[in-house]
Amino acid sequence: MSAPLELVCPAGTPAALRAAVNAGADSVYLGFRDETNARNFPGLNFSRSELAEGIRFAHDHGARVLVAINTFPEAGNSGPWHRAVDSAADLGADAVILADIGLMDYAQRVHPQLRRHLSVQAAASNPEAIRFYHQAFGIKRVVLPRVLTVAEITALNAQVPVETEIFVFGGLCVMAEGRCQLSSYATGVSPNKDGACSPASHVRYVDHGGKMISKLGDYTINTFAEGEPAGYPTLCKGRFSTCGRVSYLFEEPTSLNVLHLLPELAKAGVRALKIEGRQRGRAYVAKVVAAFRLAVDAAARGEPVPETALGALAEGGRQTTGVYEKVWR
Amino acid sequence: MPPLGPPPPLSPVLLAGFLVRPLPPILLQPVLDLAMMAIRRRHPGLFERFSDIQNPLLVIDPVDLPLVFRLDADPLSPRLSAVRDAGDLSASATIRGPLLTLMELLEGRIDGDGLFFSRELSIEGDTEVVVALRNAIDSVEIDIIGDVLSLLGPLAGPSRNAVGVAQGLFDRAARDLQSLRAAVIAPALSQGEFQAARLRDLEDKVDAAARRPARRPAQKGGRR
Amino acid sequence: MGGGLAAAKLTMGPVLFNWAPEKLRDFYFRLADEAAVDSVCVGEVVCSKRTPFFVPYVAEVTGRLERAGKEVIHSTLALVMTGRELTQLAETAGSADLLVEANDISAHALLAGRRHVIGPLVNVYNEGTLKTLAGRGAFRVCLASELPAPTLAVLGRAGLAELEVQIFGRLPLALSARCYHARAKGLTKDNCQYVCAADPDGMAVETLDGKPFLAVNGTQTLSHTYCNRLGELQALEAMGIRHFRLSPQDVDMVAVAGVVRGLLDGVESVADAQGRLADLAGGVPFSNGFFHGREGVRFVDPALP
């Protein structure tokens, strides 16, 4: 018997927030409806009043709200990012999730009492980097980049003075997050600056006699035969040709799912488990959160983890344990 | 409870069945207007989520119906209408899928991305508009029947026609549950052409009634 | 061109590709003997598995560069994950007599309080971050490729540190724990057989419609295009950016440096320099879109309205 790991769940909309809380989320993470967060998608995210209401709802139900302000402020235009931190503090958010050093400095100076987490976008992949963020900016928790195996996470946790949070389900970047300019190179829209990777504004799906062609900007990212499970046209999940051979060079359309690794992850010393998917609907949120709630509680009681079939929610209908197992590299 | 009597035993399946009948699209307009009015009243923030989108005009194409829906998601004067085919609509995007799937999506009971991955749902055109629509409808808890019924009570005069027409259609649908259910599955659609002539007559008759709600003050001054 | 540009400094960035140790040694020897560059970066940035092969040559190479009057910068690993990698990094950072370039925030942490360089793979997007890093000893910062002109101008005006931008070579776009060179050959990173050595300029990646798109270099992904900011040098200088980085490709880099130096010194026109650079690039297309706030892949002719 041990304390259950904290389940950190995505909310792209107020309805998703309620769905996450009702399904058993310990914390919900979300962002404002602008470029200050890394899911700046059309129609998504929270206004100030929606956040206020969301925080009230979450707190009434014993859940926390973490506000992601995890893009990199534009030089000469830090206003929107500073205001986002101010609003999170004023509205009573339980923490902000930050990636930019300058913004961490601002948050620490202006709102010292506001708890600060380090976003995965900061790509702190080793103890030295994590100690830096902790010592310089009072970071209390680090969301680990998706580059470490379970063994490496275990070793890391023994050396750092902060909580760690890791991704357990959903879309996965195969590149080190916050250090990827692929989308920016192809579309001019930058995950780091604009908060969108492979933005919908540049995506086109073309039906070609039952075959679906997905394009990003000027580039064909994939073609799916009739009935073949599809994925998002993110550059790193596309089919490319190298040495005359067409393949998923970087990664297949797939979703991370390490439900069955939860007992191991608990032993690795992580504090919180993160479900990806602020851009997904509330049906996804409800289902995934419920499955992980059951699993986390069972693992805490030392019982076998109940498996829930989540394949239908996975990109390309495929699931992977990703980098947590070394062979992935 | 709505004051016009107990709510008809409507379910999305039933409504789907009702819609799947080979009705001329114009007959649906009062219901669609009512539904839009209900959704806007209950979820005022919904169409705000389109404010960054240029020309948010979508075609929603239930592949098992002989008609398509045209959604003009203009934040100030959104409008939903039904037409025979999307051929002459200059929509920015099209969403295609079985009606029941689309209904479940509308009510947030099913994961849109998952449907897309499994190819049950397909999209074409400006993906940004589709994503905005999905996020907008997902941002609120739409319960289409509940939303519509919630309007039946406090409605003011000009909308009574719409309510009357809708209520009539609902009642008729409710009387015929079994055949409607069958209609969802069976290719009743193929009878559409056969019935078209008879229905055109009916269409003319309700034309006036159907247009009135479209001229409600709430919808004035918006689109050309 | 004006005297401002003549005062600009050229840096030869680290060789990102897996060149044979002897080829790498000879590259540096030639830079020492012939190249019109002021600073030279030495050290493995992409994959720690490659590091041991060049170790025997480092002292010889840095000695010759220093005797030739070049500033030698020791570049460090971009994605530091394992204990072994961190130990190696700490060793480099702990050598008080070396000028070190941090390509991961952990290197900056280890170098704090000492003069050091921040490489382009550490995110510096605004004056707040620049100020913090400069306050901890970063006296020069090579900025990320995707920053557009207005951002560069703000950072230049801030006057917090010497600024550098890449002006030639493939753009570093992404890093991963996974090795795509190995994956493309049906291998894993642990058992990679160093297949990346077969592609000294990166492995060509084409889209499904046959368009050249990216270049894979082990765990790193680069642009297919070579960045070319010859047409933007004057604008960059006017913003207060005085250091220009050439990222080594498998072309005659001494000649590339010569072209840029000639342009900076005003002995060559932009048009002539562009022509000579195109000859040297051997048909690889150029890009400068990031500077102009466009897709990075694009080449915008700054002479056009």
Cβ(C223)–Cβ(C283) below 8 Å: no
CB pairs under 8 A between A and B: 114
Predicted confidence band at B15 (pLDDT cuts at 50, 70, 90)?
low
Q: How do residues A70-90 score in pLDDT, each as one tens digit?
A: 999 999 999 999 999 999 999
CB contact under 8 A, A282 and B108: yes
Q: Quick check: B138 and A282 CB within 8 A? A: yes
What's the gap in Å between the CA of A38 and the closest CA on chain B? 16
Any B CB within 8 A of A309 CB: no
Beta bridge partners of C10: C244
CB contact under 8 A, A281 and B116: no
Tell me the pLDDT tens digit for each residue of A144-193: 998 899 999 999 999 999 999 999 999 988 999 999 999 999 999 999 99
HEC letters along chain B: CCCCCCCCCCCHHHHHHHHHCCCCHHHHHHHHHHHHHHHHHHCCCCHHHHCCCCCCEEEEEECCCCCEEEEECCCCCCEEEEECCCCCCCCCEEEEECHHHHHHHHCCCCCHHHHHHCCCCEEEECHHHHHHHHHHHHCCCCCHHHHHHHHHCCCCHHHHHHHHHHHHHHHHHHHCHHHHHHHHHCCHHHHHHHHHHHHHHHHHHHHHHHHHHHCCHHHCCCCC
Check CB contact under 8 Å for A253 and B117. Answer: yes
Write down the pLDDT at residue C304.
63
Q: What is the pLDDT of residue B193?
A: 38
Token pair of A267 as six digits:
């032993």
User: How many of the other CB atoms lie within 10 Å of CB of C22?
Assistant: 11
Per-run averaged pLDDT (10 residues), chain A, 329 residues: 89 96 98 96 94 98 98 98 98 98 98 98 97 98 94 95 96 93 97 95 89 92 91 91 94 92 93 96 94 95 89 86 85
**pLDDT at res. A324:** 87
- Token pair, residue C36, equals 């019109």
Pairing of strands C99-102, C116-118: parallel
* pLDDT more than 90, % of chain C: 96
- Beta strands A219-224 and A141-143 are unpaired
Q: Is A138 at the interface with chain C, CB within 8 A?
A: no
Listed residue (A101, A155, B202) closest to C112, CA to CA: A101
Cβ atoms within 10 Å, residue B144: 16
* Sign of the CA dihedral running A14, A20, A24, A30: negative
Which amino acid type is present at position C64? R
Q: Using the beta-carbon criterion (under 8 Å), do A14 and B117 form an inter-chain contact?
A: no
C215, two tokens: 């270049």
Q: How many residues belong to chain C?
A: 305
Mean pLDDT of the residues in chain A: 94
Out of A106-110, A284-288, B16-20, C33-37, pick the least confident.
B16-20
Specify the pLDDT at position B168. 56
User: CB-CB: which of A106, A221, A241 is closest to C206?
Assistant: A241
Domain chopping of chain A, boundaries: 6-172+254-328, 182-247
Local structure of residue C230 (DSSP, 8 states): G
Pairing verdict, β A95-98 and A116-118: parallel
Q: Is the confidence at residue B27, as pLDDT, over 80?
A: no
Q: Counting every residue, how long is chain A?
A: 329
On chain A, the residues whose CB falls within 8 A of the CB of C221 are: 175, 182, 250
**Per-residue pLDDT reduced to its tens digit, B51-106:** 888 878 899 998 888 888 999 988 888 899 988 877 767 888 999 999 888 888 88
Q: Is C187 left (phi over 0), alpha (psi -120 to 50) or beta?
A: beta
Q: Which residue intervals of chain A are DSSP H helices? A: 14-22, 48-60, 79-90, 101-110, 127-137, 150-157, 182-187, 191-194, 262-267, 282-300
Contact across the interface for A203 and B127, Cβ inside 8 Å = yes
Q: Which of residues 57-96 of A touch C (CB under 8 A)?
A: 72-76, 78
Q: Who wins on pLDDT, B220 or B72?
A: B72
For C303, counting Cβ atoms within 10 Å of its Cβ (0-12 exposed, 13-18 middle, 19+ buried), the class is exposed
pLDDT value of position A37: 96
User: What is the DSSP secondary-structure string of C95-152?
Assistant: -TTSEEEESSHHHHHHHTTS-EEE-TTS---SHHHHHHHHHTTEEEEEPPTT--HHHH
A138 touches chain B (CB under 8 A): no
Q: How far is CA A240 from the centre of its chain?
A: 25
**Domain range A6-172+254-328, CATH class:** alpha beta
CB-based contact, A280 to chain B, within 8 Å:
yes
A230 contact residues in B (CB cutoff 8 A) = 116-119
pLDDT tens digits, residue range C254-282?
999 999 999 999 999 999 999 999 999 99
pLDDT of residue B166: 52
Of C123, C128, C155, Cβ closest to residue A192? C123
Position B8 scores a pLDDT of: 38
Contact by Cβ (8 Å): A63, A94 = no
Of B24-28, B71-75, C49-53, C178-182, the range with the lowest mean pLDDT is B24-28
Structure tokens at C292: 């102009």
Domains contained in chain C, CATH given: 3-170+226-271 (3.20.20.70)
Tell me what pLDDT residue C170 has.
Answer: 98
Residue pair B19/B44 in contact (Cβ under 8 Å)? The answer is no
Domain architecture of chain B: domains with CATH: 12-215 (3.30.1050.10)
Nearest CA in chain A to B114: A313
Work out whether the CA dihedral C268, C269, C272, C278 comes out positive or negative.
Answer: positive
- The pLDDT tens digits of the residues spanning B138-194 come to 888 888 777 766 766 544 344 445 545 555 555 554 444 334 334 433 333 333 333
Burial code (b: 16+ CB inside 10 Å, e: under 16) for C239-263 equals: bbbbbbbbbbbebebbebbbbbbbb
pLDDT of residue B174: 42
The answer, yes or no, to whether residue C230 has pLDDT greater than 50, is: yes
Contact B96, B130 (CB under 8 A): no
Q: Which amino acid is at B26?
A: I
Question: CA-to-CA distance for A302 and A283, rounded, in angstroms?
Answer: 29
Rounded distance between C-alpha atoms, residue A323 and residue A153, angstroms: 11
Chains touching A (at least 3 CB pairs under 8 A) are B, C
SS3 C17: coil
